[in-house]
Every structure is written in structure tokens, then in C-alpha cells.
Amino acid sequence: MSETRDYKPTLNLPKTSFPMKANLAQAEPATLARWQSADIAGAIATARKTATPFVFHDGPPYANGSIHVGHLLNKVLKDIVVRSVLMEGRGCHYVPGWDCHGLPIEHRVMTGLVESGKAAKLDTLSDDHRRMAIRRECAAYATKFIKSQSVQMQRLLTLADYANPYFTMQPQYEAGTLEVFAALLEQGFVFRQLKPVHWSIANQTALAEAELEYEDRVDPSIYVDFEAVDRAKVDAVFGVECACTASFMIWTTTPWTLPANLAIAVHPAQQYALVEMDGALTIVAAEMLDKVAKIAGAAAVRTLATARGSDLVGLEYHHPFCDRKSRIVAADYVTMEDGTGLVHTAPGHGDDDYRTGLREGLEIYCPVQGDGTFDGTVPEWLRGKLVWDANGLVVEYLRTSGHLVHELKFSHSYPHDWRSRTPVIFRATEQWFIGVDRPGNRGGQSLRAMAMDAVNNSIKFVPQWGHSRMKGMIENRPDWCISRQRAWGLPIPAFRMATDSVFMTAASVRAVAECVRTKGSDAWFTLSPAELLATYDASSDPDAPTDLAIDALTKMYDIFDVWFEAGSSWNSVLRQRAIGFPADLYLEGSDQHRGWFQLSMLPALGVTGTNPFRTLLTHGFLVDKDGKKMSKSAGNALDVDVILKDFGAEVARWWVSGVAYDGDIRIDLDYFKVAGESYRKVRNTLRFLLSNLYDAPPWTQEEATARATAATPESIDGWLMGELAALESEARAAYNEYDFRRVHLAIFNFCNETLSSVYCAAVKDRLYCDTADSPRRRQTQAVARVAMEVLCRLLAPFLPHTAEEAWMALRGSDAPLLFAQTHLDLAAIGGVTAVRDPRWSAVMTARSAVSKALEGAKSLGIDNPLDAAVTLPDPRGSLAPFEKELADLCGVSQVTLDAKATIVTVSDLRSQPRCDRSWRRDGTVRQRSDGGMLSDRDALSVGV
RNA sequence: GCGCCAGUAGCUCAGCUGGCUAGAGCACACCCCUGAUAAGGGUGAGGUCGAUGGUUCGAGUCCAUUCUGGCGCACCA
């Protein structure tokens, strides 16, 4: 045995500065800092200044707390859109936004004020001053979280105009919102109407759900008979003849609401019984009869007849103590759990009742005033009485008049004002609404009709099922109540006149908007009506009331529902900042069908007649690995900081890019491990390509592309160029359809299979062993270079940091900005190799057959494929054109084709000499002048 | 309770208008390589397609019912 010479120094072994280990947690912040100091966002904007803009609009997250994994998903998806659009050569001015007003912040601020004892001091201030004090705290709170969330979102490597974000509390934004409102007013969509709200008597204010605390409370629970008006009609319904008139028995735990009773609701599908109970004739649900009889302690109960609830509808009854007749109505919310199956309905005192009242055309009657006392419309013995005292009075009255069937004490949980800890009541108050069924003044169409038309005809939904979901919601939605009785928000600029009527016209709102544009909505609390209306001219306002006296006006204090503000962003951001309208895309979680999507549609359609977005993309919600929803209380919530620290933003982004975002998305730290491994696979593949380019000539991109596309179709390089072109068009098509998962899989598959498993393995020998500047090696380097050019661009939307890191390793530190590049478009560049050659499928099939055969040959002792030669059957000659490349492709030393063979045969080459340099036994190996055993090719390379 | 959606190998997902022994990647097992090396390659095992019933010559694929989970709405006088 001659000792083998060490030829390693003569090889062109790979070299690169692109490290195998990404070290993302440290490297990403550095990249981010570089982007910020170099103003990458500005540079990209400049590069795309004249390009066709893609109008993409950010839905504002709420400025509260730390970002969670839901934000991560949402913001990364959006960023993938932004960057993929840029890579297509379009411009995209993406402005991040925040929703600032509203109860969650005010609630937290108030809690803080109560705890610190400052709240009591506030109560001593005048209304305007007190509200301003609260608003200042709230604004500071919102500002703080906007800042921290902005930092967190940028840490996700997202690209947006973070220097000029929008907040719903910015004066210009507020003015834009008011202008939307003015236009809706002008179109006739806005009106004022009674609606029941939770009302705190102690604080004389409406409360939101979040301001309620539920505590146990004991109330009288009473069963009351309401006597039917027409005995004959009742008899007819039940098919009997009675000697006296029956009564409808209802149950309630709020006797004080009985004066406002305007209907009794029954379930249309339930059976109701006409019964004789201790001599009295009464009607209750058949199913509830035994229970009611038992509670009432009735001795003799006899059912005379039964009828369906729907048959009772329309029957009338006398109110037991108010002078009026009302009727039986149907409602499917009537249940058979408590009570009598007949539900006392007071549209002014309950939400269900209110809906029923609206549907039945009943008055929204509320005889209770803000201080909890009855007004003059009730019987004299109740007038001026507090509702809590009225409970006992009503019970006593009914007992005396013989309408009370039974009374007991009932303990239940009841809402209380969280601040005063006093029980609240449900009371109808005047609220502002946007009507969805009112015809607009411009085209006579209602908002609902316009929205349905947009949903059915002009919006593209991704995924498709968004269409039916949105449609269902538009069909069913009630009028939009846009007023709230809070301090932290944009005031609805209405005034009360001396006559007590309300003054607010499109022109007056615009005047206030002008004021707000410069001074902010605080102006409403700091200025007088005359100052607010400084630019208002009643004489040119066709809607101005004739008796208008500006000096006599007083400000009203309702604020807008925050959804109205967010729903005006298409105006306050897209139009005011001249970004473009309508937007090409809105992208949010599927909960926003009810929220931002719909509440942007309605104002925009009402004001402009145009839907604010062309395409609607929705993603599902994150759930844990068992499919359960995430919540802090369940302890299954993932911390974004932990993900960033353990895996880095790039791995998180890579995970997002591969997720099936329609429907629920399971998330778990383990999934990031998986994503991390696949990220590393992609990274290493890039690294291999880069490492073999260290000595490539300094081709321009065009030179490299020209050279790469010149590869012969029958070469491995030619094959790869076809695959590369196919990848590029497939990925771009999928990006354009927002099918990021398809892009992700295509790229991964290309790196893992096409490159790592096939191409890199096949081409290694020539890269390492051929003479450095041999045409064959340079050809491969050109292809590797183009593959890098393509991959960096395709990966940039998913992995901006890694793609740029690779890009700079490829192009050097003076490389042009990756994010200002556009795709190569190999298919358009043309050349025979820029398209997939179908003849290659036979080659690839043969290649896997060889793999299997080699596996079998291991039992013969042929462990190393380079110790083997294979004979491939080629009856049709389909492999012949590729003969030169087959050995490299299969990783063996020799391949011969045999037209007559039927199976792959492996022969043992271990008795033949092995090249000391390339380790191949290609039949040309012999001792050379330097004493080494070398093949012809290697001898040439070494120069011996 | 109502509307929308999902339920296919351990995991993430393909399976279009119903049609050969249900596919991929990861993980796993075994093996190779040691000149991509805290890398790379090969082979293989693994599924009663949530359940039940139906339509059909034939269903993961259509229909009905049901279970589980998610989002939104409603939630009781």
C-alpha cells in the first residue's frame, strides 16, 4: 500500500463569512438599529416614489398593555404583505395606527384614581374640569402604551412608517372623524332615539358592562295576573267557553318596572294552558304549571284547555294599575326555566324588551328619571317615588287590587355600579344612532343595502368563507348606537338649546371639526359653545334652526363609540394623508367582521358610496396545542418576549409564514422549535451556495443571469435553472394570492429537496475538484449566484434580517438595498433553461431507483456510493442525453446505460484504484508524476 | 341557542368538480458520509380520513344527524 497524499490544500473548498449559527436574538436588534439609523424605510419609500402604490391600511390595535402572540401573528402577516408587495416593485406607504380612546383605558385610569384617593377630589371639580383631569390621565396612559407597543412591533422587524403613526386621539384624526360624522348627518343616517342602558342612580350616568360589579341582592319576586280584555277571543283561542275572563300570569323580580309594561311575550312554539287555580282563571305555560302552582301554594288546579303561544299573540290585556291596554307578542328568548312562560315586557327597561318593542312598534317608554324617581306619567301614588321604594308600593297595590298571585323573596346576582357600589337600573335614555335601514339623501339607498351590495359584488374575500360570514352579519345587524356617556373619547358635538331641543347640523359639526383640528377634542371641554362654533355661519346653514341663539347653547357630553373613530380611519388616514382610497387591502383577525371591517364599511359607504377596501383578508385565532383558546387565566398564553429571546423574530416570522391562517392556529413553544429547525435548514442551504462563491468572478447581476441561463438544458445546472424559474413564478403567484404558506412550503422544499438533497450534492465534486476557473465550475457558480439572487428576494418578506444578511454576504457590504430590489423574473428573461424541462422526470426517477439499489448493495459491503458503479436500464433512450451528469447526480463513481436492462444493477468498484483527491473510482485513476493516485480530471487540476 | 369555520399518520398540512393499494414535510427507527461538520445523504416503519346513518357500482371527497374545538352574536324578565 502506498501512503495516500494529502490533496486537501489543492481543493476549492467552501469558504464564507455567513455563519452557520444565526444568533438571532443578538443579531436582530443590531440589524434593527442599522435600519433605523440608515432610515431604510425612507430609502425604500424614495425608491418606490413613482411606483404604482399598493394601498394597505393598518387596523388600529388598542393602546393598552403589552403585545401578545395575536399581535405577533397579525403584524407579521401584515409585514409579509408590505414587503412582498415592495418586492413586486410597487410602493406601499404603511402607516401603523393605534386606537386610543375608550373604556378599557378610562376604566384603568379611574381605578388608579380611586385607589390613590384622587377620585374624590375630582368630584369637587366642575364637569368640564373633572373630565379634563380624567382625559389628561387617559391620554398619558395611551401615549405610554403606544410607545412601548411600537417598540415591540418594530422588534418583530416590521417595516412601517413608525415615525408618523396615526392615533385616534390626534387632533387631525379627530377632525377627520368629525367630518365623516358631518357627512353622515348630511346624508340623513344619524338620529337620536331612546335605548335602555345600565344607569347608575348614584352617579346619574350610564355605565358600560365593564363598570358593573355583580353582587347578590334580595328582591321581591312576584307573580302577577294581567286580565285579558276580551273574554270571547280568549275562549276562541282555547276552544272553550268560560264564565269569567282569564288573566295572563307573569313573573318579575323588578316590580318597579311594571308601570312601564307595554307587552307580554310568549314563546310561539310553546304550549300554554288555561287553568282554574283556586277559583281564578289564569293562563301560564303548560310546562311551568306545576312549578307555578306549587310556588303559589294553589290547592285546586284544573287545566281546561291548551293553546300554542303563537295563537295567543295579539290578544289584549288590561294593565293592572295604569290605564291602558297592551297585547301579547311573540319572542323566542322566552324560556321555561323560571317564571310562568309569559314575560313581562317593558321596552324602556330591558334589552330584550327593547328589541321586542322596536319590532312591535311599541313606545320605548321609560317613566323613570335620571335620579331614579318616577315622572308624572305614572299613577299618582307612584309619582316622584324612588324606584327602590316603588317595589314595595307596587306589591302592596297589586295585593290590594287582587292582581298579586304570590310574592316571595328572591336572591339573585344583580349589577352594581363599581364606584358607588349601589345597584344600577336599566333605563332608556336618548342615544345617537346610525340607522342601517334609513334611505340616504344621496342615492336613496340604506347603509344595509349598500353594504350588502359591496359584500356580494365588489369585495374579494380571502379566505372565501369571509363572504358568508360578513353577509350574515350585515343582514342581521341592528342600528348602530354610536354614543357613550364617558369622558375619554371624541365628543359628539351636539348642543342643547334653551328650548331643550338639540342643535347639531352638518355645518355645525364641520365648524367644530375645524376647531378640533387645531386644538384637539379637549377644546370641547375647555372652550365655550361660541368659541367652538367660531367658524359656523347659521345664515349659510340650510339646516340651522330658526330660533338658534349661540350664546344660549350648552354643550352636551356624549362621546363617540370608539368603533366610530376606528371606522373613520379610511378618511382620517387614507384620504387625509393622501395615501389612496379605497384601500387595496384590509387584514385583521376574523373577529373584525363584526368590528373594524364592518364599522369601516358603513361610514365609508354612507359618506362616499365606495367600500373602503377592495380585498378583505382575515386570519383565525391562536389556540394552544390542544385547540383551546389562550388566556392569561388559563395559563396557556405564550409570552412574545420569551419567543423572541429563545428563537428570535426571524424564527417567529418563519413560523407565521408557514401557518394555515384561515381557521384556528395552534401555537406552542414546540412549534417554534420545529420552525427553528426548518429555518436552519434553509439557512445552511444558503450558506452552502454562498460558501462556493468566494472565488467567483465579480459578475453583475445581469452577467451572472446571462451566464446561468446559458447552461445547457441537459446539464444539472440547466435543470436547476428550470426549477429556480418555476419556484420564482410559483412563489410570486402565491404571494400575490396571500397564500404565504404555499410560498413557505415551496421555498423550503426547494432548499431541502431541490438544492440540498439533489443539486448541492451533485455539484460538489466539480466545485471542489475542478480547476478553479474551469468553464464547468464557473457555470455552476453562476447558477449558484443566481439561485442566491432569487432566494434572497423570495425570502425577504419572511426573513428580512436573514435575507439581507445573506444578500450582503453575496454582494458585499456596499450592496444595494435588498428591499429596493425587484424579482428577477427568470421566466421573462427567457432562454431555454428558464423553464422546466419535462425530460428530467425520467432522470429523477432513475436517481431514486439508484438510491434504493445502493441501499440494497450495502449488504454486499458497498457502504460508500463512490465505491459503486451502476448500470441503468434505458430502453427508450430517455436517459442518454443526460449521461454525462448521471454519475454526479447519483453520487456514484460511474454510470452506464443499457437499453436492454430492466433493473438497476450495482457493481463493486473497490478493486479499482481510488483517486486520492476526488475519492472517485472513475476508471482513469493511475499513479501520476507526483506519486499520487489521481484521475485524469484531478491530475489536470493539480497540474501533474 | 343562532351564524361562520375546522376536525386526514406523533406534529403541521395536501387531497380540485366522488374513482387505481390515502400523499408531503417534520419528528421517529436503522444506515452511510466526515472536504456544507453543533452540518450533509439514504432507506424504512407509521393513518378504521372525529362518530353514526344515508345517496352511489364506488365517499376522506356528496347529504343528514351527532361530538369536539374556535370566532362572532344572543344569554333570560
**Which nucleotide's C1' atom has the smallest distance to the CA of A689?**
B36
Residues A720 and A793 in one domain: yes
Taken as a whole, chain A contains a residue count of 944
Provide DSSP, A255-287: GGGGGG--EEEE-TTSEEEEEEETTEEEEEEGG
- Strand B lies under 7 A from the Cβ of residue A673: no
Nearest to A65 by CA among A149, A166, A156: A149
Q: State the residue for C-alpha cell 383551546.
A: A628
Establish if A308 belongs to a structural domain: yes
Q: In what order do the strands lie in the sheet with A190-200?
A: A205-207, A190-200, A425-434, A480-481
What is the SS3 string spanning A467-502? HHHHHHHHHHCCCEECEECCCCCCECCCEECCCCCE
* Separation of alpha carbons A8 and A126, rounded Å: 88
- Integer Cα distance of A483 and A434 in angstroms: 10
Q: Are residues A184 and A242 in the same domain?
A: no
Is any atom of strand B within 7 angstroms of residue A475's beta carbon? no
Residue A929 DSSP code: T
**So what's the pLDDT on residue A636?**
72
CA distances from A214 to A110, A209, A417, A486 (A): 19, 10, 9, 21
Reduced to 3 states (helix: H, G, I; strand: E, B; else coil), residue A625 is: coil
Of A258, A264, A298, A259, the C-alpha closest to A281 is A298
Amino acid at A42: G
Distance in Å from B66's C1' to A334's CA comes to 26
Give nearest nucleotide to A345 (CA–C1'). B77
Question: How long is the CA A681 to C1' B38 vector, in angstroms?
Answer: 14
Report the distance from CA of residue A70 to the C1' of nucleotide B71 in Å, as an integer.
13
Domain co-membership, A830 together with A846: no
∠A755-A759-A762 over CA atoms, to 5°?
145
- Strand partners of residue A317: A228, A326
The Å distance, CA of A839 to C1' of B21, is 28
As a whole number of Å, the CA-based R_g of chain A is 39
Question: If you ran DSSP here, which 8-state letter would residue A196 be given?
Answer: E
Taking the C-alpha atoms of residue A846 and residue A892, their distance in angstroms, rounded to an integer, is 13
- The region that residue A902 occupies, defined by phi over 0 for left and psi between -120 and 50 for alpha, beta otherwise, is alpha
H/E segment holding residue A359: helix A351-360
Confidence (pLDDT) at A30: 96
CA distances from A462 to A616, A654, A738 (A): 6, 21, 8
> Which of residues 267-306 of A have CB within 7 Å of strand B?
none
**Which 344-363 positions of A have CB less than 7 A from strand B?**
344, 350-352
Angstrom distance (rounded) from CA A797 to CA A87 = 8
Which 8-state DSSP code applies to residue A752?
A: I
| E strand or H helix that includes residue A220 | strand A212-227
Backbone φ/ψ region at A550: left (φ over 0), alpha (ψ -120 to 50), beta: alpha
In this structure, the answer to whether residues A402 and A459 fall within a common structural domain is: no
Q: Residue A561 gets which letter from DSSP?
A: -
Contact A320, A377 (CB under 8 A): no
* A496 and A551 housed in the same domain: yes
- Tell me the three state secondary structure of residue A170: coil
pLDDT at site A658: 92
| Those residues with Cβ within 8 angstroms of residue A886's Cβ, 6 or more apart along the chain or in another chain | A843, A846, A872, A879, A895, A897
Query: What backbone torsions phi and psi does residue A880 show, to the nearest 5 degrees?
Result: -50, -45
Amino acid at A647: F
Residue A335 Cβ < 7 Å to strand B: yes
Q: How far is the CA of A617 from the C1' of B49 (A)?
A: 29
**Could you tell me if residue A251 is inside a domain?**
yes
Q: Is residue A256 part of a domain?
A: yes
Question: Cα separation of A762 and A892, whole Å?
Answer: 10
| 3-class secondary structure, A434 | strand
Among A535, A560, A585, which residue terminates a domain?
Answer: A560
Is A408 exposed, middle or buried (CB count within 10 Å of its CB: 0-12, 13-18, 19+)? exposed
- Secondary structure (3-state) at A513: helix
Positions of chain B reached by protein Cβ under 7 A? 3-6, 11-14, 24-27, 31-44, 68-77
- The gap from C-alpha A207 to its chain's centroid, in whole angstroms, comes to 28
What ranges make up the beta strands (E) of A104-167? 166-167
Is the CB of residue A19 inside 7 Å of nucleic acid strand B? no
HSE-up of residue A625 (Cα within 13 Å, Cβ side): 6
From the Cβ of A411, is strand B under 7 Å away?
Answer: no
Q: How many CB atoms lie within 10 A of CB A345?
A: 27
3-state secondary structure A226-262: EEECCHHHHHHHHCCCCCCCCEEEEEECCHHHHHHCC
A844 shares a domain with A822: no
Cα–Cα distance for residue pair A80/A326, rounded to 1 Å: 60
Q: Which protein residue has its CA closest to C1' of B41? A: A757
Q: How far apart are CA A328 and CA A339, in angstroms?
A: 16
CB A140 within 8 A of CB A105: no
Report the alpha-carbon distance of residue A150 to residue A895 in Å, rounded: 60
Say if A579 falls within a structural domain: no
C1' nearest to CA of A254: which nucleotide?
A: B77
Q: Kindly list the distances between the CA atom of residue A727 and the CA atoms of A71, A145, A451, in Å, as whole numbers in the listed order.
A: 30, 42, 39
Element holding A56 (H helix, E strand): strand A56-57
User: Within 7 Å: CB of A445 and strand B?
Assistant: no
Q: Are residues A787 and A856 in the same domain?
A: no
Regarding whether A795 and A894 lie in a shared domain, the answer is no
Q: What is the largest CA-CA distance in chain A?
A: 131
d(CA A276, CA A296): 13
pLDDT of residue A150: 97
Q: Whose C1' is closest to the CA of A919: which nucleotide?
A: B35
Question: What is the DSSP secondary structure assignment for residue A456, as one 8-state letter?
Answer: I
Asked whether residue A600, judged by its CB, lies under 7 Å from any atom of the DNA or RNA strand B, the reply is: no
pLDDT along chain A (944 residues), means of 10: 75 96 95 95 95 96 90 94 96 96 88 86 87 94 96 96 96 97 96 86 76 79 89 88 87 91 86 85 85 80 86 89 89 77 89 83 89 90 91 90 85 79 87 91 92 92 85 84 89 95 96 97 96 95 93 94 94 97 93 89 95 92 80 76 94 94 86 93 97 97 94 94 93 93 94 96 97 97 98 97 97 94 89 78 92 92 94 94 96 96 94 95 95 96 94
ipTM of this model?
Answer: 0.92
* Nucleic acid strand B within 7 Å of A333 CB: yes
Residues A821 and A844 in one domain: no
CATH of the domain at A705: 1.10.730.20
Cell output for A477: 345587524
Q: What is the DSSP letter of A629?
A: B
- Rounded to whole angstroms, the Cα distance separating A598 from A451 reads 9
Tell me how far CA of residue A514 lies from CA of A530, A573, A574, in angstroms: 13, 17, 19
Instruction: Give the helix/strand (H/E) hosting A766.
Output: helix A761-769
Distance between CA atoms of A803 and A710, rounded to whole angstroms?
Answer: 26
Asked if residue A35 belongs to a domain, the reply is: no
- The answer to whether A663 CB is within 7 Å of strand B is yes
Domain end (from A359, A378, A412): A412
Q: How far is the CA of A746 from the C1' of B15 (A)?
A: 17
The per-residue b/e assignment along A58-95, b for 16 or more CB within 10 angstroms, e otherwise, is: bbbbbbbeebbbbbbbbbbbbbbbbbbbbbbebbbbbb
Same domain, A876 and A901: yes
Q: Using the CB atom, is residue A601 less than 7 Å from strand B?
A: no
- The H or E element that residue A688 is part of is helix A669-691
Residue type, A918: S
Q: How far is the CA of A767 from the C1' of B21 (A)?
A: 43
Instruction: Estimate in Å the CA A671 to C1' B10 gap, whole number.
Output: 13
List the grid coordinates of A581.
382610497
Is any atom of nucleic acid chain B found less than 7 Å from the CB of residue A597? no
Specify whether A344 is located in the same domain as A265. Answer: yes
Closest CA to A247 of A315, A196, A201: A315
Q: Report the alpha-carbon distance of residue A41 to residue A165 in Å, rounded.
A: 13
The H or E element spanning position A413 is: strand A404-417
Q: Say if A826 falls within a structural domain.
A: yes
Residue-level pLDDT at A2: 46
Cell numbers placing A786: 443566481
Strand B proximal to A684 Cβ, under 7 A: yes
Distance CA(A345)–CA(A323), nearest Å, equals 17
Nucleotide nearest to A250 in CA–C1' terms: B77
- Residue A799 contacts residue A653 (beta carbons within 8 Å): yes
In a domain, A627, yes or no: no
* Cell digits of residue A444: 336613496
Domain count, chain A: 4
CA of A55, C1' of B17: distance in angstroms: 35
Domain containing A812 equals 15-19+688-834
Q: Note whether A828 and A854 are same-domain residues.
A: no
Type of residue numbered A895:
V
Alpha-carbon distance of A28 to A161, in angstroms, equals: 19
Q: State residue A1's pLDDT score.
A: 42
A819 in Cβ contact with A86 (< 8 Å): yes
**Domain of A855: which CATH number?**
3.30.2320.20
CB within 7 A of strand B (chain A, 124-183): none
Write down which residue in A361, A377, A412 finishes a domain: A412
Look at residues A308, A314, A353 and name the one whose alpha carbon lies nearest to residue A333.
A353
Is strand B within 7 Å of residue A687 (CB)? yes
Report the 10 Å Cβ neighbour count for A518: 10
Indicate if CB(A235) is under 7 A from strand B. Answer: no
Assign residue A245 the CATH number of its domain. 3.90.740.10
Q: Is residue A312 part of a domain?
A: yes
